[in-house]
Amino acid sequence: MKKRMFCLMLALLVLLTATGAVFAEGKTIVYWSMWSSSEPQAIVIAEAVKAYEAASGNTVDLQFKGRTGIREGLQPALDAGTEIDLFDEDIDRVNVAWKDYLLDLEELVKANDYEATALPSMIGAAREVAGGSLKSIPYQPNVFNMFYNVEIFEEAGIEAVPTTWEELLAASEKIKAAGYTALTTDDAYVMTNFGYQLARYIGEAGVVDVVTNGNWAETPEVLKAAQDYEDLYAKGYLSSTFGTSVWPTNQNGEFALGDVAMYLNGSWLPNEVKGVTGPDFKWGCFAYPAVPGGKDGIEAANFGAQVFAINKNTKVADEAFSIIEYITKGEFDKKLSVESVGIPADTTNAEWPEMLSAVKDVMAGLTTRYQWSAGIENNPDMTPIIKENFQKLCTGKVTAQEFVDALEAASK
Amino acid sequence: MKRNRTMFIVFLAPALILFCAVFVYPIFRTIIMSLFKVENITSGMSEWAFVGIENYKSLVNTSLFRISMWNLFRIWLIGGLVVMSLALLFAVILNSGIRFKRFYRAVIYMPNIISAVALATMWIQFVYNPRFGLLTTTFKNLGLDSLAAINWTDSDHKFWALLFAYCFGMVGYHMLIFSSGIEKIPQELFEASTIDGASKPQQFRSITWPLLSGVVKTNITMWSITSVAFFVWSQLFSMVTAETQTITPMVYMYLQVFGAGNVISERNAGLGAAVGVLLGLCVVIVFVVTNRLIKNDDLEF
């Protein structure tokens, strides 16, 4: 008898589920996100999606894949025909590596007057990287520049942030005299220092030419850039573990704990170390300095964003775009900015988190966009070799000339 | 008994089909793929461009790949010697009748049940930390300032730091395999030899070691397979961008198939497949050589 009742209940349950599926109202949008579910960005996105569901009657199948998950899994899934309507990742990866899967968003943007309250520099960057047409919507904008501890600068008596290499040396001397170390970095970011320095001399295109064609010895600016860092080491401005500590050792250690004044990093840094610095840490940011006779100045930096993109084969493009608007406009954009200590994507959210207020002016002065590390990592077969030799240069184990010779030999 | 061919086919077919689909087909596809330039790992065969043995030539001529193979060789040989020696030593000690055997065995095996991510974080952020790490503070307290000043994660020390951390976690696994082999040896042999006056080292040399040859072979093969697949520890010790001291062929393959770090680099799954074929060959060679050198059917017990 019990068995029969159980079977009856089970049959009823199956029937109800089936009828529910048939008569359910609204559409289903599948969204693969690059965040991990416990990150502040993911928590706000989940809230925004819930609000969208309540307002629209549609259902969102939201899946947090994490960085590696989406990087490895999205393209094979799309190739296999998995239904994914909306996804997000870094601006370059989406627009370059996954360009064949993107829906052109120009019409949707126009129809919804999206650009009226979007950051023009970010929309411009998204268009540029996609070859002229808008195929992704930026959010969580970021900029990669020099972050510093304002209290150390004040204590050292530095009145204005350095804009030239000479000024950086002078500021570093004052910082050293005050009992602090001027600069630090971790292994994950060490290459960006050399990329920026070389790009200041010969521009990003020059850097890419050097790393892809192996013109290390043939380009005299390589030696100059190396000598600049050799000089920083010789004068005692660099941390003794500059670029050799495994990330985030120095970021969370000597920088966040107030032993070192400067760290070349992205605007995500305050969020990453807020647990160590506490709320009283005074954040400053300035553009990586210009070098004498250099091609680029402080107007150039790597800036970008995470972007949303819609699958070109989707049947719910309007709905997917509405979700993008929910996350990147108004209430949830503001919340995303506050919770993740990030830059708002909506221009009506004019108030930036206190920790990032110094970034605002730096960002406003940028006109030239570098790709990641100004192109110094563009040859994956050389990146580890450049990294090893630059680490040695910055810890006094090789000279600038030996650095250039080693790279010239390795690239031939 | 009359043989029923239909029954043979019916019972064998599912296993055979699955074996072909899961093992044989991927192996052949990988070998074929290694002769093509393939941009995406999921690209259809119509998009593949035939390049012959160019991928293999490219690997041989790339210094970074040669560095990665050298790292793999060092991990396999040096790490293998250390891990096998310690694993065997612990297994012999644990089976020599000591008290609290199960407790010690659990302690030595414990790193295997902890995630590699947690273990690597412990080593990097606690043991090797240049500011307040275990090594730095211990050496400072002992007055050994030159040792305390060593940066364990710089390019001169990172490989050894990585290898030491990795071996720490691997000893327990191989110790268990040795231990199970030793437990299978009849106790009467040890008892008889004890009565005859044999010491523990003599018992090891004349009884344990000869009767363990099959287990040694298993351990070497298992170690070779895990070494060839060395990836996670390397990634954890060099986040975002690879390094010469930690790169292994598997990491190199990953860079070729999925792109490198934060840059959008050219991808070639064909090159990745060529790396896979070479690694497969390495394991086969080790297996064949081990089989030739170690005979396990000379003794029966």
* pLDDT at position A56 over 60: yes
Q: Are residues A197 and A276 in the same domain?
A: yes
List the single residue in B with minimal CA-CA distance to A248.
B125
> pLDDT tier at B294 (50, 70, 90 boundaries)?
confident
Could you report how far apart the first and last alpha carbons of chain A are, in Å? 82
CB contact under 8 A, B63 and A410: yes
Question: Residues B238, B196: contact at Cβ < 8 Å?
Answer: no
* pLDDT at position A90 over 80: yes
> pLDDT tier at A19 (50, 70, 90 boundaries)?
very low
User: Rounded mean pLDDT of chain B?
Assistant: 92
- pLDDT of amino acid A195: 98
A133 found inside a domain:
yes
CB contact under 8 A, B237 and A372: no
CB contact under 8 A, B155 and A75: no
Angle (CA) A66 B263 A168, round 5°: 110
Chain A residues with CB-CB distance to B151 below 8 A: 240-241, 244-245, 395
CB contact under 8 A, A372 and B263: yes
- What is the domain count for chain A? 2
Residue A145 burial (CB count, 10 A): 22
Question: Residues A84, A78: contact at Cβ < 8 Å?
Answer: yes
Q: Which of B154, B245, B251, B254 to mutate to test the interface with A (most CBs of A within 10 A)?
A: B154
> Would you state the structure tokens that stand for residue A177, as one six-digit string?
């005299």
List the single residue in A with minimal CA-CA distance to B244.
A384
Amino acid at A376: I
A234 found inside a domain:
yes
CA distance B80 to B76: 5
Q: Are residues A152 and A293 in the same domain?
A: yes
Which of A75, A96, A375 lies at the smallest CB-CB distance from B40?
A75
Which of A241, A380, A388 lies at the smallest CB-CB distance from B130?
A241
Q: Which domains does chain B have, with CATH numbers?
A: 36-293 (1.10.3720.10)
Average confidence (pLDDT) over A195-201: 98
Average confidence (pLDDT) over B17-43: 93
Which of B41, B64, B153 lies at the smallest CB-CB distance from A244?
B153
The continuous run of DSSP H or E covering A28 comes out as strand A28-33
Question: To the nearest whole angstrom, how far is the Cα of B243 from the nearest Cα of chain A?
Answer: 4
> pLDDT tier at A25 (50, 70, 90 boundaries)?
low
Q: Where are the alpha helices (DSSP H) in chain B?
A: 5-19, 25-33, 54-61, 63-74, 80-94, 101-109, 116-121, 134-141, 145-148, 158-184, 187-195, 200-203, 209-211, 213-228, 232-237, 249-258, 269-293
A16 found inside a domain:
no
Cα-to-chain-centroid distance, residue A244: 22
- pLDDT of amino acid A21: 46
To the nearest 10 degrees (0 to 180), the angle between helices A165-177 and A220-234 is 10
List the single residue in A with minimal CA-CA distance to B243.
A384
In sequence order, the 6+-apart residues with CB closer than 8 A to the CB of A24 are: A59
Q: Are residues A236 and A323 in the same domain?
A: no
Question: To the nearest whole angstrom, how far is the Cα of A240 from the nearest Cα of chain B?
Answer: 9
Question: To the nearest whole angstrom, how far is the Cα of A19 from the nearest Cα of chain B?
Answer: 36
pLDDT in tens, B177-213: 999 999 999 988 988 999 999 988 898 888 888 889 8
Q: Are residues A332 and A395 in the same domain?
A: no
Q: Are residues A90 and A232 in the same domain?
A: no
Question: Residues A384, B243: contact at Cβ < 8 Å?
Answer: yes
A318 found inside a domain:
yes
- Measured CB to CB, residues of chain A less than 8 Å from chain B are 71-72, 75-76, 79-80, 90, 92-93, 96-97, 187-189, 191, 240-241, 244-247, 249, 253-254, 371-373, 375, 377-385, 387-388, 391-392, 395, 397, 410
A6 found inside a domain:
no
Domain range for A252: 143-301+367-411
Chain B residues with CB-CB distance to A370 below 8 A: none
* pLDDT at position B121 over 90: yes
Which conformational region is residue A26 in: left (phi greater than 0), alpha (psi within -120 to 50 degrees), or beta? left
Q: Are residues A134 and A196 in the same domain?
A: no
A13 found inside a domain:
no
A5 found inside a domain:
no
- pLDDT of amino acid A23: 47
Q: Are residues A314 and A342 in the same domain?
A: yes
- pLDDT of amino acid A8: 61
Q: Which of B126, B131, B257, B258 to mutate to test the interface with A (most CBs of A within 10 A)?
A: B131
- pLDDT of amino acid B272: 96
Which of B41, B237, B267 lies at the smallest CB-CB distance from A76?
B41
> Would you state the structure tokens that stand for residue B161, as one six-digit string?
């730091």
> pLDDT tier at A20 (50, 70, 90 boundaries)?
very low
> pLDDT tier at A72 (50, 70, 90 boundaries)?
confident
Q: Are residues A153 and A281 in the same domain?
A: yes
- Three-state SS letters, B157-172: CHHHHHHHHHHHHHHH
CA distance A177 to A173: 6
- pLDDT of amino acid A184: 98
Q: Are residues A133 and A160 in the same domain?
A: no
Q: Are residues A258 and A113 in the same domain?
A: no
CATH number, domain with residue A222: 3.40.190.10
Q: Are residues A199 and A155 in the same domain?
A: yes
Average confidence (pLDDT) over B13-25: 94
Which of A76, A92, A392 lies at the smallest CB-CB distance from B155?
A392
- pLDDT of amino acid A11: 63
Residue A99 backbone dihedrals phi, psi, to 5 degrees: -60, -30
List the single residue in A with minimal CA-CA distance to B124.
A246
Residue A31: strand pairing partners: A62, A86
Which of A97, A254, A392 lies at the smallest CB-CB distance from B131?
A254
CB contact under 8 A, A79 and B241: no
> Would you state the structure tokens that stand for residue A121, as one six-digit string?
């520099």
Q: Which of B46, B47, B241, B243 to mutate to test the interface with A (most CBs of A within 10 A)?
A: B241
CA distance B44 to A79: 9
Question: To the nearest whole angstrom, how far is the Cα of B14 from the nearest Cα of chain A?
Answer: 25
Q: Are residues A378 and A272 in the same domain?
A: yes
Residue A350 burial (CB count, 10 A): 8
User: Rounded mean pLDDT of chain A?
Assistant: 93
Q: Is the CB of residue B62 less than 8 Å away from at least one CB of chain A? A: yes
Q: What is the DSSP letter of A349?
A: -
- pLDDT of amino acid A214: 96
Average confidence (pLDDT) over A5-26: 57
Domain boundary among A364, A383, A403: A364
Q: Is the CB of residue B264 less than 8 Å away from at least one CB of chain A? A: yes
In a 10 Å sphere around its CB, with 0-12 CB exposed, 13-18 middle and 19+ buried, how is residue B223 labelled?
Answer: buried
CA distance A181 to A183: 6
CB contact under 8 A, A254 and B40: no
